[in-house]
Amino acid sequence: MNNPLLESVRFKAQTWLNSSIDNESKALIEKMLQNDENELIESFYKDLEFGTGGLRGIMGPGTNRVNVYTIGMATQGLVNYLKKNFSNLSQIKVAVAHDCRNNSRLFAETTANVFTANNIKVYLFEDLRPTPELSFAIRHFGCQSGVMVTASHNPKEYNGYKAYWDDGGQIISPHDTNIINEVKAIKSIDDVKFNGKPELIESVGVEFDNLYISKIAELSLSPDAIEAQKDLKIVFTPIHGTAVKLVPMTLAHLGFQNVYHVPEQDIVSGDFPTVHSPNPEEKAALSMAIEKAKEVGADLVMATDPDADRVGIAVRDNNNEIILLNGNQTASILIYYLLYKWKENGKLDGNQYIVKTIVTSEILTAIAESFDVEYFDVLTGFKYIADIIKTNEGKKTFIGGGEESYGYLAGEFVRDKDAVMSCALIAEAAAWAKNNDLTLYQLLLDIYCKYGFYKEDLVSVTKKGKSGSEEIAAMMDGFRSKTPDSINGSDVMLVHDYQKQQTIDMISQLRYKINLPKSNVLQFVLHDGTKISVRPSGTEPKIKFYFGVKDNLDKPEDFDKVNKLLAERIENIKKSLGI
């Protein structure tokens, strides 16, 4: 039976066999050709592409897998694009770093070798380092680009490749598409220059860590509170990742003297032996740290993902129980703290702003408006926050920003979400709150009483492989072509279609332009203020549903009652949508 897809992947696999790849990879491809058609299809049915987080996938041989060859081809494509864009420079420079994952050092060195083989100077970190430090290095060394080898919080079989531009932010349109086109123009692995020039590599070490930490310390707004609460009990875990040294060093530099470790999770390992997934969004990833907090009586728990760009926290509630906060709640505390202290310190003059993503809680908008601080909404992905900072550089001052997926940033010297910096500011906010006889939990309840109780939820539906991608596309088409009139008994008032770059007023049927780049995202705004967002993930085989509801919280004692009502509303919305 004729199977065009199978014929295509067999042809691609044979092309790889006929190239100069290593014998181990050849043996694995031969095995797939003979015994495993499904794995052959998954490995070769498409080429890895840059999504919202760059190049990311399962490690193994094949065009749809992360290996030294796809890493090399991506780097060669990036090289070719850099040479076209910076032909006026006598020396193009890039920075390269990597996380703790299996093969990450190999992929980072491969990347560095391809760059130097093409006469590009590389600042290569001597060992694993956080993603935000790589972003800082790009700007510090005056680089034109940078690469971070990481798969963030994905399971251990994944690895990836984040590409950065000269502003220290992840690559966005049109550069991302143009780089992929350059990669596609490479017809053979043999077109990649793999033989590097060691003389063009400069090692970056601990002296740069100290510089990075000193820049974070400059963001401190309450040194007096830290001094008064220097014995605040904090438990920190890097979940086997790159923050293992940098976060404790930063906290100590600020003056915190009571930081507890989880020794088993201080072990750097790409196998992540103590967790199913190194994702600080998941309760299980923080379970060992929470047990440590119970043991030592800690006030605050912080956990970073493997490349240290995201942080999850846990705090004590009014019953002295340790509970997790979600990304929106942590963002609310951070932005409120930053704006409050900026105002108290007399630093707000109307020229400052914050940034959030379109799926992040609207409470950040309410907080910004209460301080008369401008706010920007951007597409999902921290690279769009970085782009706003770049656009406003020298004209307005960025105070802070965040996204619901546990990524936050303050200041302008880093242009990606920064868990090292965030840990420092969260700890400082906790010290400041304690100095004002509040826990972080009580501070959050005060924020809800002032601005409204905003409650959010996220449902991720996983659809793996080629068939999964097609199913996700069909789901988006269905929502787009058959907009519901009402959801959970509340009329749909507005539909924001970011793919069509338009807002539809469902009452008047008028259309309004959305001045953001195209993105496959739909949002439904209901009569009762509910906001529902639907988007396929750019880095994982998932379709995500974001739910945001709101009600008044008159006093902290009513939290449980209102929380239950909002949770029930979200569950009813899910049922109404068949999720």
Using alpha carbons, select from 332, 344, 327, 347 the residue that is nearest to residue 399: 347
300, two tokens: 């605050």
Annotation says 460 is catalytic: no
Burial environment of residue 350 by CB neighbours within 10 A (0 to 12, 13 to 18, 19 or more):
exposed
Question: In 102-240, which residue ranges form alpha helices assigned H by DSSP?
Answer: 104-117, 131-140, 175-184, 206-217, 223-228
From 152, 422, 519, 533, the catalytic residue: 152
List the strands of the sheet with 234-237, edge to edge.
259-261, 234-237, 300-304, 311-316, 322-325
Residue located via tokens 């950065």: 164
392, two tokens: 């406003």
Element (H, E) at 327: helix 327-344
Using alpha carbons, select from 179, 192, 110, 177 the residue that is nearest to residue 144: 179
365, two tokens: 């908008």
| Measured distance CA(553)–CA(537) in Å, rounded | 33
Beta strand residue intervals within 129-267, DSSP E: 145-149, 158-165, 201-204, 234-237, 259-261
| Measured distance CA(52)–CA(281) in Å, rounded | 18
**Amino acid identity at 86:** F
142 dihedral zone (left: phi>0; alpha: psi -120 to 50; beta): left
Distances (CA, A) of 157 to 44, 66, 451: 17, 10, 43
Beta carbons of 331 and 471 less than 8 angstroms apart:
no
Beta carbons of 414 and 204 less than 8 angstroms apart:
no
Active site (catalytic) residues: 152
